[in-house]
Structure 1
Amino acid sequence: MNILLKSAKIVCPENKDLHLKKRDILIKKGVIEKIGATVDAPSNIKVVEKENLHVSLGWFDSSVSFGEPGFEERETIANGLFTAGKSGFTDIVLNPNTHPVPDTSSDVVFLKERGQGKATKLYPLGTLTKNAEGIDLAELFDMRNAGAVAFFDFKKQISNPNLLKIALLYAQNFDGLVYSFPQDGDIKGKGVANEGEISTKLGLKGIPALSEELQIARDLYILEYTGGKLHIPTISSAGSVKLIAEAKKKGLDVSCSVAVHNLFFSDETLVGFDTHFKVSPPLRTKSDCKALIKGLKNGTIDFVTSDHIPMDIEHKRVEFDNAKNGSLGLESAFGSLNTIFELDETISLLTKGRERYQIDSPKLEEGAKACLTLFNPEGEYVFETNDVLSTSKNSMFVGATLKGKVYGIIHNDLSTL
């Protein structure tokens, strides 16, 4: 693949010589051959000229769900990776919420093979326990050797504290990363929305922030005892930010993420009982949103994720109590973040996180393999259903005003432009 990007404004704070400079970028056979003020186009090369073209290092998303195997009607791996690429993501971590779940090395190999030959690279998670049932540890070491980057019983709490203790101790033998979903199921009960004024007015059963914070506090105590590497995905409350900040001050090896929708929306959006806004953890208050944004800015929260979860219409077009959790997020991730943060901050958030999974970070320099995202950061627009590229259409961002458009990616000697 040979491409010449013309007059691309480079957004790369790591490279002070190129940051915010307009340059031509010549890419040959997937490698950045030349970066210059003016680069003449060789023969037989694709020249890319776009309105207000900006380019950055390829974006990374640590929480993406598809459907294959088992739920292909929601999303296949092929179309999911195409959607990720068109949304600007060169690398994604795939959640283990399939049927069957990936709890053996052969399952991980299957997922990696299904992701071969695409512009966006897929990094699978394996489950922490067999069948994600929370009883016995799965084949963690074998899955790690097969390519699993971490271990997670998707959106399920680890009820047994001793299981988490053993997992953290065992995973240290191969520098493995253990996930723990921050929700105490007994306190959550049958809750479907954030416990507060809005849920009370609407008559919806509440999920108190305590259910998240109590689980996190327990897990951090266990981590302090065992050592090891713990990741807490998609936190949602101000109290959680405070707990993790205190743990990091102690020197604990803990990381966390937040979903874009928990920054962009509050529980006030539930007034219409729209099931697209039913997610786990739930949308919380505006003050929680502010605390999460502050946590990202000061580094307490390590990275942001789309928490992309395709869900078929049969599980969304029902009563709020009965609807399944989840919203699409890949297609709207950049446009929503770009309305909250300055451009440099947005790109920093979208490019960080790989090191936690021991994934090599790309470079934007001559001689490096091309791992680039192309976009226009300007221009507001209303996100519509026809902006959704996923097979499922369950996006809570439909109707929201976003800022900026993604053109595509160049990665793995392939392009989605």
Structure 2
Amino acid sequence: MNLLVKGITLVDPNSEFNQKTCDVRVEQGKITAISKSLTLAKGETLFEGKGAILSPGFFDLNCMIGDPGLETKEDIETGTAAAKAGGFTGIAVLPTTKPVVQSKGEVEYILNRAKNNLVDVHPIGAISRDLEGKELAELFDMKNAGAVAFSDGSKAISDDGFVNRALQYSLGFGGLLMLYPENKSIAGKAQINESKNNVLLGMKGVPALAEEMQISRDIFLATYHDAPIHISNISTAGSVAIIKKAKKDGVKITCDVAAHQLVFTEDLLNDFDSNYKVKPPLRGKNDIKALILGLKDGTIDAISSQHRPHEIEFKDVEFEIAAYGIIALQTVLPLLLQAGLDATTIAEKLAINPRRILNLPIPIVKVGADANFTIYHPTQKWEYNSATNASKSSNSPLLGKILTGKVQLVYNNKQFQVYEQ
């Protein structure tokens, strides 16, 4: 479908038009013209972009979709609808399904289910069979079938020897392990951050040490094999410092942070709202400051949604027995703007670097390129409610709230979706 975008500000560090206000013409899925002034042609859809930003299409590194087997939480259709509404033109989906994505059959199933979608859906295969951390899944076969990386989701792998073998094996065929950082023996069964707050609430706390020790272990193993690793969803100031030093030392390490960890603090748990129960737990203000600084100085490579849909019966219960996680695909952008991130940082951490980490093609806003972009207005307000929520689930503390930062259009795979301006 043909589209003419008028008066839009382009933010793409890889484009010669970066930070310029231009008109952009798209014909049959290709960007055919970028200029100061283009005239609407017959059959084109006009989009007035005044005050809005055009960025390479967002990409999510860490997203749970329940298909196969857990479609009552989220399926491919609703998951990609939520992704589109949040500005994502690509998502990497975790293997935490039923059955677990642990062989080429499950990888091929997801790829076939997601065909012809505006949103590119990339399966992440399991590292271990049934996510138990004991036996290697079929990594090589999954890679050949189209898996972009390997992860056990939010399950940390305790067995050092198992991770050692997994790194050694995956190195042989260019596989990437995405590891969740938690030392289970230190974290125990605690569910919130260890601080004065957990004492006041009368609940055991997860110390930052549990995350930081696990990252240190993974760095030692990656260094030993000279292998790449990715640390998913870091949350502490100490983790930022450890990873910063590792990068300086030449370790092939990348990491991401969930958007909500840049805004939400542990103080929000005082009312025991289970919609704020996430893993890793919400931390303190000093951690948030360190995470934002880590994004700005390049220590943290990417931002993820950590989208975790759940049926109401898993969340509308006492805090201690509630499931971890929130739906987040539609609220990443407003949270990043609330955290004070600028458009260039958002483009780098939410569009460019996630694809670079997974060795996927990076969309560039230039003439002749395939159109793959997101248009959003950084100051437009909108209400996130049951009518605007595209997910099948509703476990978000932001539902019913007015948010700032609205996705207005997404374009990918010769398709585009316009949202209310």
TM-score bracket for the superposition, by shorter chain length: over 0.9
Asked whether the 8 Å contact 1:331–1:387 carries over to 2, the reply is no
Cα distance in 1, alignment partners of residues 345 and 52 from structure 2: 18
d(CA) in 2 for partners of 1:159 and 1:343?
38
Q: Matched residues in 1 for 2:404 and 2:13: separation?
A: 21
Secondary structure of 2:330 counterpart: helix
Q: Distance in 1 between matches of 2:265 and 2:52?
A: 33
Letter in 2 for 1:377: P
Residues 1:403 and 2:404 are matched in the alignment: yes
1:202 & 1:306 partners in 2: Cα distance?
27
Aligned to 1:134: 133
- The 5 Å alignment of 1:291-370 reads 291-340=290-339, 341-351=341-351, 352-370=353-371
TM-score by length of 2: 0.96
Query: Letter of the aligned partner of 1:176 in structure 2?
Result: G
**CA deviation profile, 1:124-176 (whole Å, cap 9, x unmatched):** 10000111111111111110000001111111111110111111111111111
Conserved 8 A contact 1:59-1:88: yes
Tell me the residue number matched to 2:272: 273
Amino acid in the other structure paired with 1:300: T
Distance 1:102 1:277 in 2: 28
Distance 2:47 2:228 in 1: 43
Counterpart residue identity of residue 355, structure 2: R
Task: Flag the 1:206–1:399 CA change in 2: closer, same or farther, 3 A.
Answer: farther
Q: How does 1:39-58 map to 2 (within 5 A)?
A: 39-50=38-49, 52-58=51-57
Q: How far apart, CA to CA, are the structure 1 residues paired with 2:198 and 2:285?
A: 14
Of 2-11 and 138-147, more deviation after overlay is shown by: 2-11
- TM-score, normalised to structure 1, is 0.96
CA deviation map 1:358-413 (0-9, x unaligned): 10111111110000101111245564454422110111233666422101310000
Q: How does 1:134-173 map to 2 (within 5 A)?
A: 134-173=133-172
Per the TM alignment, residue 310 of structure 1 is displaced from its structure 2 partner at its CA by: 0.7
Q: From the superposition, tell whether residues 301 and 396 of structure 1 become closer, same or farther in structure 2 (CA, over 3 Å).
A: same
Please, which moves more after superposition, 396-405 or 316-325?
Answer: 396-405
Match of 2:97 in 1: 98
Aligned residues: 416
Alignment of 1:6-405 (within 5 A): 6-15=6-15, 17-50=16-49, 52-340=51-339, 341-351=341-351, 352-380=353-381, 383-398=384-399, 402-405=403-406
Q: By how many angstroms is 1:44 displaced?
A: 1.7
CA deviations 1:169-215 (Å, max 9, x no partner) are: 11111111012210011211110101111111011221111111111
- SS of the residue aligned with 2:300? coil
The two structures, once aligned, show a CA RMSD in angstroms of: 1.4
What is the deviation of 1:242? 1.1
Identity %: 37
Within 2, Cα distance between the matches of 1:237 and 1:304? Answer: 15
Native 8 Å contact 1:77 1:115 kept in 2: yes
- Secondary structure at the aligned position of 1:373 is classed as strand
Moved more, 169-178 or 42-51: 42-51
CA contact (8 A) 1:338 1:402 kept: no
Q: Which residue of 2 aligns with 1:415?
A: 416
Partners of 1:211 and 1:12 in 2: how far apart?
37
Per-residue Cα deviation, 1:296-328 (whole angstroms, up to 9, x for no partner): 111111111111111111000000000000001
Paired residues of 2:6 and 2:50 also in contact (CA < 8 A): no
3-state DSSP class of the match of 2:152? coil
| 86-95 or 41-50, which deviates more | 41-50
Following TM superposition, by how much is the alpha carbon of 1:236 offset from its aligned partner in structure 2, in angstroms?
A: 0.7
The aligned amino acid for 2:115 is Q
Secondary structure at the counterpart of residue 353 of structure 1: helix
Alpha-carbon shift at residue 344 of structure 1 (Å): 2.5
CA distance in 2, matches of 1:110, 1:266: 38
Q: What secondary structure, in the 3-state scheme, does the structure 2 residue paired with 1:330 have?
A: coil
CA contact (8 A) 2:262 2:335 kept: no
Cα separation, 1, equivalents of 2:52 and 2:256: 29
- Counterparts of 1:370 and 1:381, CA distance in 2: 26
Deviates more, 1:44-53 or 1:218-227: 44-53
Offset at 1:248? Answer: 1.1
Distance, in Å, in 1 between the alignment partners of 2:386 and 2:294 is 31
**SS at structure 2 position matched to 1:6:** strand
The letter for the 1-side match of 2:182 is: Q
